[in-house]
Amino acid sequence: MLLEIIIYAGFSGLTVFVGGLLANYFNHHIEESPVKYQITHTSMSFGAGIILSALVFVLIPDGMKELPLIHIIFSFLLGTIIFFFIDKYLSQKGGKVATLMAMLMDFIPESIALGAVFALDPKTALLLAVFIGLQNLPESFNSFRDLVLSGFSVKKTLVIFFFTSFLGMIGALIGHFFLSDFPQLTAHLMIFSSGGILYLLFQDIIPESKLNHSYFTSLGASFGFVLGMIGEKLI
């Protein structure tokens, strides 16, 4: 069982690094053109749709199952407020890491949930791992662009993504060994993350995905959300 958890979680995290490699190739080997900008902004919108689907179908529903209303409100608003101050601080420093933060805030709690549910339902855990992996690909693609625009070198950004890819395994093992018997703690983490993600979506990610005089890019959000719906029905 332990080996299976590592393999499943490893796959879900590997796509973080793969997304960074694809973004690096796309940025440096595809010539500048209107089509390139269309693809870039559509991928941002697509990633936003996937992140939103993670909130609607995984993080918030699973968190609300375990917590009373007052705890849900507290954790959600706490996540929102904390990431408001983090985002404000980073913006003053000239940083553009909202997509990376949003990716980590659904990747980590979902990985913990993956480990926590594995002993109860391996089939659900497998599908959840695939869902997480598919989410991470466009999110890391967009995060790479944001980090490079913030002044990070390509090498440094890829190193960050390489080590980030292992967070899935770490989160899954934590969930399996330490949080399987504490579902409320896992639920608080999910609701807290949801508050921060929703703030980042509307403050940074969705506005930046819009491309002037283009209506196609916004379709990406719907396509991303559909992918989340597919994952939810399969799980």
Q: Is the pLDDT of residue 235 over 70?
A: no
Give the CA radius of gyration of the chain: 17
Specify the pLDDT at position 69.
Answer: 94
Query: 174 exposed, middle or buried (CB, 10 Å; 0-12, 13-18, 19+)?
Result: middle
- Residue 93's pLDDT band, with cuts at 50, 70 and 90, is low
Q: Are 36 and 30 in contact (CB under 8 A)?
A: yes
Task: Give CA 101 to chain center in angstroms.
Answer: 8
Q: Is the pLDDT of residue 35 over 80?
A: no
What's the whole-model pTM score? 0.78
Q: What is the mean pLDDT of the chain?
A: 83
> Cα 153–106–39 angle (5° rounding)?
55
Q: Are 188 and 20 in contact (CB under 8 A)?
A: no
Tens digits of per-residue pLDDT, 97-140?
777 887 787 788 888 888 877 766 777 677 778 878 877 888 78
Q: How far apart are CA 196 and CA 78, in angstroms?
A: 8
Structural domain boundaries in the chain: 2-234
Tens digits of per-residue pLDDT, 178-217?
877 788 888 898 899 889 888 888 887 777 777 776 777 7
